[in-house]
Structure 1
Amino acid sequence: MVTPTGRYCHWCWRNAPECRRPCTRCSSLDNLADGGRCKTCRATDAVDTVLDEKTLGTQPLLAVLRDHLHAADAAYVLIAKKRSNVWRLIVTIAALPHPVTHTDLDEMGTPRSVSQVRSLLVSLGVLPERNEYAVMVRRLAADAIAGLPRREDQLALQRFVRWRQQHRPNTAPLTMAKAANDRTELRVIVDLIGAFNTAGATVGTGQQATLDQWARRTRMAFRSRRFLGWCARTGINRQLIPPPARPSGFQLGGDLGPGNDAALRRVLDPDEDVSPRLRLAVLLTTVYAVRVHRIAALSQDAIRVESGRPRIRLGDVEIELPDATAWWIDAIHDDRTHKPRAGGSGRDDTWIFPGSRHDQHILPSSLAPQLKALGVSPVTAHQASAAALITQMPPAVVARLVGVRITTASQWHKSAGTDPAHR
């Protein structure tokens, strides 16, 4: 860009004060375009063109979305209008002849491609809350059932999925961890049914020899135990003996390993350039055996400094952290992260690790690479720190802290020789 005062690159032209002119509409100084309008006026016109009075007459709840976009950064709106899937979805939603629903969004793209806009509409009250993990599991189950070649197997799996949903131990919303377990279990069951079909049988006529052969070559075969037990109780096939349960994974005298140990030393050094959030995550992984999915879901009110003592609440267990973590907690509370989300960046006051979707935390699959970049191996760290904790705390406390069943923690207790009854 050449001006009377000199030659500018694109970035300098946009930021140099002498290149700004009064907007023909609002008189604010800016780099003008499209008839001499500033960015704010152009963004406002773009939003009003899509969410006009006719649209709001059909979908009055979208007035909240229009106000939200008016308050967003104008540069974000203009960039989104040019090359964002978010804007495409907003235009499609505005063109609907009826108030938008979750079903409408389901038909506009993959769950991942519409997730940010969906979370924005839910946070604004345009759409009601919906448990997306439960929807995902139901969709996967429906696809898996439809993909089975034999009607008997389809009916058996359909009945099992319905039974599993009805017999959950509580009515709390399906969490990410439970949804992942359901997905893995479903995949293993479908693989087992495929093995029976290859042998010319169904779930009802499958033989133990086929099951045993399949279990020897399948690493997650133990995931079929609940399904096979249900088949026996319902009379579908009473002849099958489920594969043995998976070992507890407890390793007596576990070692953190050089990578985990180096990462722990690094985060405890105040001079190292590591964010307070990642410092806390590394400590919880390597010392307290907390799994990544539980760390990702930590809320801001789970940590505090009380009378100079840093504390953290993990489920219904509250523990005292080392004194060195006090400034981490203060820094986390003082630095409320702004995340780039649909509709513009937003301040997050809920999560320690906020995600890119409104009112949601970061995904464990996004947090784990950050820990690995510091040298942390979450699996090794969990096993080693759990082995140390079981020798210092009662099984009931370890179970709530680590996130396992009390029976599992009790087995660890016996293996470690810390239970007087098993010495």
Structure 2
Amino acid sequence: MDSGILPHVDRQILLYERWLAERLATIKDPEVHRLLHRFATWHQMRRLRAKAEKGPLGRSPTHEAKQQVTQAGAFLVWLLDRGRTLDHCQQADLDAWHTEKYATRRPAQVFLRWCMEADTMPRLVLPTHVVKQDQTPMHQHRRLTLLRRVLNDDSPPLRSRVAAALVLLYAQPVSRIVRLTTDDIVDDGTTVTVRLGDPPSPLPAPVADLMRCYLAEHPNLAYASSRSSGWLFPGRQAGQPMHQTSLQDRLREIGIPPQRGRASSIRQLVLQAPAPVIAKAFGYHDKTTTHLVTEAGGTWSRYAPGDHKR
């Protein structure tokens, strides 16, 4: 049989179609189901197939499509809770959604534009001017307050609390946190260390206890395909870590701003120890930490790395 008879289907599209079918199967409201199915069929799939014709798809396009479907569904349910259907949506509803759901506004806007073009909702004004989130470091008192809440409040998921502690305590970017493996955590029964740089960093007792609880729960994480992956924060796909955007969203859901929290933490660290030491211990470039300590007015600006015993 000629292998060229059957058209080539991109693997990422197949995985997305499987995810979409599972996602739609969980939706009970028939109108929400119908709208999301139409959106995925006539907007997303056409775009994904057009991209796949130019070359194999990576994970980013389908991840973005999943975000759009998820946030579109969240908007429709939120709108129903306000007592409105999509065809009766008002400007005040859109304004309220964008105010309450700032972190997830972009995926939802794709769906809303499509609905307006398809005449399934009134042509309303989507916010065009978005105030940028403040990237300046938060005050030290605020950082410690958030860290205290992460350690003492049992209501957020353990995964989010552990990640938040690594951001607020050791200034780790989310992109690096999702690449940690269970082998990077060493527990000798007395001390728990995490391999961020050289040498591994010991975790203070409250954070160590939090990490122990998370590791004890690790084999029972929701995604069975990821149980043996070795990632500290496994993703939905077998053998893959959690996507950094997903972890960022989860941190924001519990009130932790990843960028500002990390910026505040690293500035405090370089005031407590020489910049080259901090860079080596926490996986930063020494030029980055030197620049930060100069900005912060630290007293270690003339410290030179190396052997000082001679």
TM-score (norm 1): 0.39
1:347/1:113 CA distance change after superposition, 3 Å: same
Q: Does 1:302 align with 2:184?
A: yes
The partner residue of 2:168 within 266, 286, 294 is 286
Q: Which blocks of at least 5 consecutive residues in structure 2 are unaligned?
A: 20-50, 61-133, 304-310
1:115/1:104 CA distance change after superposition, 3 Å: farther
Does the 8 Å CA contact 2:198/2:282 hold for their aligned counterparts? no
The partner residue of 1:418 within 299, 302, 305 is 299
Q: What is the identity percentage for the equivalent residue pairs of Structure 1 and Structure 2?
A: 25
Q: Does 1:264 align with 2:110?
A: no
Does the 8 Å CA contact 1:348/1:354 hold for their aligned counterparts? no
1:421/1:306 CA distance change after superposition, 3 Å: same
Does the 8 Å CA contact 2:158/2:214 hold for their aligned counterparts? yes
After superposition, residues 114-125 of structure 1 pair within 5 angstroms as: none
The partner residue of 1:381 within 256, 261, 272 is 261
Q: Which blocks of at least 5 consecutive residues in structure 1 are unaligned?
A: 1-57, 59-95, 117-138, 144-175, 177-248
1:262/1:409 CA distance change after superposition, 3 Å: closer
Does the 8 Å CA contact 1:285/1:378 hold for their aligned counterparts? yes
3-state SS, counterpart of residue 195 of structure 2: strand
Shift of 1:312: 0.8
Whichever residue aligns with residue 366 of structure 1, its letter is S
Shift of 1:404: 3.5
1:340/1:257 CA distance change after superposition, 3 Å: same
3-state SS, counterpart of residue 266 of structure 2: helix
Does the 8 Å CA contact 1:310/1:321 hold for their aligned counterparts? yes
What is the number of residues matched between the two proteins? 193
1:105/1:261 CA distance change after superposition, 3 Å: farther
The partner residue of 2:139 within 227, 243, 255 is 255
3-state SS, counterpart of residue 332 of structure 1: helix
User: Quick one: distance in 2 between partners of 1:283 and 1:307?
Assistant: 21
1:106-136 CA distances to partner (integer Å, 9 max, x unpaired)? Answer: 3x664973898xxxxxxxxxxxxxxxxxxxx
Whichever residue aligns with residue 375 of structure 1, its letter is G
User: Quick one: distance in 1 between partners of 2:259 and 2:239?
Assistant: 28
3-state SS, counterpart of residue 233 of structure 2: coil
After superposition, residues 78-227 of structure 1 pair within 5 angstroms as: 97=3, 104-106=8-10, 110=13, 113=16
**More contact order relative to length (CA 8 Å, sep ≥ 6):** 2
Shift of 1:366: 0.2
1:109/1:365 CA distance change after superposition, 3 Å: closer
Whichever residue aligns with residue 371 of structure 1, its letter is L
Does the 8 Å CA contact 1:105/1:114 hold for their aligned counterparts? no
The partner residue of 1:405 within 285, 288, 296 is 285
1:36-60 CA distances to partner (integer Å, 9 max, x unpaired)? Answer: xxxxxxxxxxxxxxxxxxxxxx9xx
Shift of 1:275: 3.3
User: Quick one: distance in 2 between partners of 1:363 and 1:109?
Assistant: 15
User: Quick one: distance in 2 between partners of 1:393 and 1:114?
Assistant: 51
User: Quick one: distance in 2 between partners of 1:263 and 1:105?
Assistant: 47
Does the 8 Å CA contact 2:182/2:232 hold for their aligned counterparts? yes
3-state SS, counterpart of residue 391 of structure 1: helix
1:172-207 CA distances to partner (integer Å, 9 max, x unpaired)? Answer: xxxx9xxxxxxxxxxxxxxxxxxxxxxxxxxxxxxx
Whichever residue aligns with residue 208 of structure 2, its letter is A
The equivalent of 2:237 in structure 1 is: 357
The equivalent of 1:391 in structure 2 is: 271
Shift of 1:299: 0.7
Shift of 1:285: 0.9
1:395/1:327 CA distance change after superposition, 3 Å: same
Shift of 1:405: 2.0
Whichever residue aligns with residue 113 of structure 1, its letter is Y
User: Quick one: distance in 2 between partners of 1:316 and 1:304?
Assistant: 14
Does the 8 Å CA contact 1:254/1:384 hold for their aligned counterparts? yes
